[in-house]
Amino acid sequence: QQKEEENTYKRYEETMSSLPREKGWFTEHIYRHQGFWYPSYYLPGVMVVQDQNHFQAHASDILLATSPKCGTTWFSAIVFAVVNRKLYTISSQKHPLCTFSPHDLVPRLEHTLYINNRIPDLDMLPSPRLLGTHIPYSSLPQSVLDLGCRVIYICRNPKDTFVSMWHFINKIRAAMSKSPLPLEEAFDMLCAGASDFGPFWDHALGYWRASLHRPQCVLFLKYEEMKADPAVHVERLAKFMGCPFSSEEVKEGVVDDIIRLCSFESLSSSEVNKPGSMLKFYFRQGKVGDSVNYLTSGMIERLEQITENKLHGSGLTL
Ligand code: A3P
């Protein structure tokens, strides 16, 4: 069976090698597949996920979709804590978030599950299956769309996302003994659309439009809005996922407990996310607006102009 799985990946690696490519951010190349750029490390797995012989959604699946650095870690923790709050007491020291990374509790399809020649048996996961992904809306597995699975999308303003990405990528590159990617070069790559799972704006627009057409299936949230008023958005999330908070729960402070458990301070100080582990790279500042400390006014102007042009007429602001 292992041989069969290896052959499946090999076939997709061959397909990948015939696709247009550009210089990558942490991999040597990124490849263009169905209008988006993928790191070579993840693309074969994405293609395996798209093959219905290897991945079949369940109607009860809940997908957490993001562009890299838009809050995947934070929202994975929140989604897990909300869905499983009857199973695990939030304030307990024994909560899974105290010992596991949010990335293990909401595993990403192409990052954790379909990688390294693996075709996992996801029927083993408890229902509802909580799955993460960076795959753009238009490339999601067909069964996710056909079954009307609930999809939560998290977006973040492109300036902070870029600065977060640049730091993250350079930590990964250092761990791989690669030289740092200069800020200006990374910025040009982003503006050209050639970023991991980018173009960034097209990624957001795909989910944005889907959230307008199928609001019962796609919930579009922003990192900044969660920062500004977490209780409102945690309650929205719970309602969307079909497990709204009762008024007793709200009165007992369950929503606030979840916010505290999933806060930057709490998650980043948990043993599993401490220095020494690559998981630590997912925590830097967790703030809104830090990009002004890195981008020149010219860069900010250019990014804002691209954002305005790309989102024009969509109703989406970032
Ligand atoms: P910064 O680099 O701006 O600090 P992702 O999880 O999608 O990889 O995104 C990582 C970004 O989310 C990083 O942003 C990280 O610090 C921030 N982050 C991680 N955990 C967070 C939390 N619990 N609350 C708020 N932001 C968080």
* Contact of 55 with 122, CB cutoff 8 Å: yes
CA 140 to chain centre: 13
Ligand 1 centroid vs 17 CA: distance in angstroms? 33
Tokens representing 147 are 């079954």
Number of neighbouring beta carbons within 10 Å of residue 45? 26
Whether residue 157 has its Cβ less than 6 Å from ligand 1 = no
* Contact of 127 with 35, CB cutoff 8 Å: no
At 231-265, the pLDDT tens digits run: 999 999 999 999 999 999 999 999 999 999 999 99
If you take atom 14 of ligand 1, which residue's CA is the nearest one?
286
**Residue-by-residue DSSP string for 236-299:** HHHHHTT-PPPHHHHHHTHHHHHHHHTSHHHHHTSGGGSTTSGGGGG-S---SSGGGGTS-HHH
Q: Digits of tens for pLDDT over the chain (318 positions)?
A: 789 999 999 999 999 999 999 999 999 999 999 999 999 999 999 999 999 999 999 999 999 999 999 999 999 999 999 999 999 988 878 899 999 999 999 999 999 999 999 999 999 899 999 999 999 999 999 999 999 999 999 999 999 999 999 999 999 999 999 999 999 999 999 999 999 999 999 999 999 999 999 999 999 999 999 999 999 999 999 999 999 999 999 999 999 999 999 999 999 988 887 767 788 999 999 999 999 999 999 999 999 999 999 999 999 999
Tokens representing 205 are 């627009």
Whether residue 171 has its Cβ less than 6 Å from ligand 1 = no
Whether residue 286 has its Cβ less than 6 Å from ligand 1 = yes
Q: Residue 290: what pLDDT?
A: 95
CA–CA separation, 104 and 72 (whole Å): 12
The bridge status of strand 36-39 relative to strand 29-33 is: antiparallel
Tokens representing 127 are 């229902």
pTM score, whole prediction: 0.97
Whether residue 284 has its Cβ less than 6 Å from ligand 1 = yes
CA–CA separation, 221 and 237 (whole Å): 9
Which long-range contacts link 303-308 to residues 24+ away (Cβ below 8 Å)? 303/158, 303/159, 303/162, 303/190, 303/191, 306/191, 306/201, 307/158, 307/201
Ligand 1 centroid vs 107 CA: distance in angstroms? 17
Distances (CA, A) of 227 to 121, 223, 294, 303: 36, 6, 21, 22
Whether residue 193 has its Cβ less than 6 Å from ligand 1 = no
22 backbone dihedrals φ, ψ, rounded to 5°: -135, 170
Whether residue 66 has its Cβ less than 6 Å from ligand 1 = yes
158: left (phi over 0), alpha (psi -120 to 50) or beta: alpha
**Burial class, 133, CB count within 10 angstroms (exposed 0-12 / middle 13-18 / buried 19+):** buried
Catalytic positions? 134
If you take atom 23 of ligand 1, which residue's CA is the nearest one?
264
Tokens representing 49 are 């996920």
If you take atom 8 of ligand 1, which residue's CA is the nearest one?
69
Determine the residue of 160, 165, 284 to mutate for testing ligand 1's pocket, defined as the one with the most ligand atoms within 8 A of the Cβ atom. Answer: 284
Ligand 1 centroid vs 173 CA: distance in angstroms? 19
This complex has an ipTM of 0.99
Q: What is the 3-state secondary structure (H, E, C) of 147-162?
A: CCCEEEEEECCHHHHH
If you take atom 12 of ligand 1, which residue's CA is the nearest one?
71
Residue whose C-alpha is closest to residue 113's, from 128, 135, 95: 135
Whether residue 76 has its Cβ less than 6 Å from ligand 1 = no
CA–CA separation, 279 and 272 (whole Å): 8
CA–CA separation, 18 and 213 (whole Å): 34
CA–CA separation, 43 and 20 (whole Å): 13
Ligand 1 centroid vs 285 CA: distance in angstroms? 7
If you take atom 5 of ligand 1, which residue's CA is the nearest one?
69
Whether residue 267 has its Cβ less than 6 Å from ligand 1 = yes
